[in-house]
Amino acid sequence: MPELPEVETVCRGIAPILEGATLIKVTPRRAGLRVPFPPDLSLTLTGKRVKTVWRRAKYALIEMETGSILILHLGMSGRVRIDGPGTSWPELQKHDHFVMETDSSARLVLNDARRFGMVLLTSRDSMDSHPALASLGPEPLGNGFDALTLAAALKGRKSSLKAALLDQSVVAGLGNIYVCEALYLARLSPTRPAGSLDPDETERLVRSVRHVLVKAIEAGGSSLRDHAQVTGELGYFQHSFCVYGREGEPCLQEACKSTIKRIVQAGRSSFYCSHCQH
């Protein structure tokens, strides 16, 4: 589930619960996920009040009034659940690896079957130099992402356009699904050398990236499979994919009689229409 739109959806869902609340209990339920949990995690957060929740790339950031910032990354299979506010919470489940309880009888639960996620700690003052955040490229929905900056980031790159857009230092927050979707919308082949775009193509790509992300956020994130969002509702953007997961199905372009192809690039599946995308 967790590319930029899904993380954005999670942040919007947990912000009303967490902001202004005090964390009364913080419980790591195993040693860590991809990396060990910070040793001072509970000590740093317990008894502190949450100031704000926001997102950077695919990271959810929870800033405390003390200036400490909890960084959550959902990896491939991470999900965030809010239990309560209420008098009773459901039983913790398999793969519920990290839990934070608030003084308003709500509980945030991080569930991550594959444990590719990350729980990290930084602070207001040092977040810019934190290894996870330091080398991230511009936010695709922010002012720092335009045709000129993208052209500069792609210039001289020999790798494919697909690989370049998955590189979080080029643009931050895209993953396999939305790269496929944006390239389809921009009519650009995932196999194009990243440095070969002309200004018109670059502009089309910028617009397409923004468009697919905005639409996905509006739909509440794609939330593949049976993932229930923190709001308890399922996202519906997954039903709106044009190419992702559609190998062998007809291209949706009105006049196109071709079918969607799947190739493997950098170990990831790329779905595209070889007739429409060049």
Partner DNA sequence: CGGCCAACCTGTGCGC
Partner DNA sequence: TGCGCACAGGTTGGCC
The residues assigned a catalytic role are: 2-3, 58, 268
User: Judged by CB under 7 A, does residue 1 bind DNA?
Assistant: yes
Build a one-symbol-per-residue string for 20-59: x at contacts with DNA by CB under 7 A, - elsewhere: --------------x----------------------xx-
Residues 205-244 that bind DNA (CB under 7 A): 222-225, 227
Among 160, 189, 202, 277, binds DNA (CB under 7 A): 160
Distance CA 162, CA 93 (A): 36
Shortest CB 104 distance to DNA, Å: 28
Q: Name residue 223's amino acid.
A: S
The label of the residue with tokens 């953007």 reads: 237
Distance CA 34, CA 12 (A): 25
Q: Give the nearer residue to DNA in terms of CB position, either 232 or 267.
A: 267
The label of the residue with tokens 């999670």 reads: 10
Distance CA 176, CA 189 (A): 14
Phi, psi of 217 (to 5 degrees): -65, -40
Cα dihedral 146, 220, 190, 207 sign: negative
User: Judged by CB under 7 A, does residue 155 bind DNA?
Assistant: no
Build a one-symbol-per-residue string for 170-209: x at contacts with DNA by CB under 7 A, - elsewhere: ----xxxx----------------x---------------
Q: Give the nearer residue to DNA in terms of CB position, either 204 or 227.
A: 227
Instruction: Return the closest-CA partner of residue 37 out of 29, 48, 49, 45.
Output: 29
Distance in angstroms between the alpha carbons of the first and the last residue of the chain:
28
Among 12, 55, 73, 107, binds DNA (CB under 7 A): 73
In this structure, what token pair is assigned to residue 122? 């930084």
DSSP 198: -
Residues 103-122 that bind DNA (CB under 7 A): 113-116
Can you give the binding site for DNA, defined by CB under 7 A? 1-3, 6, 34, 57-58, 73, 75-77, 94-95, 113-116, 131-132, 157-160, 163-164, 166, 168, 174-177, 194, 222-225, 227, 266-269
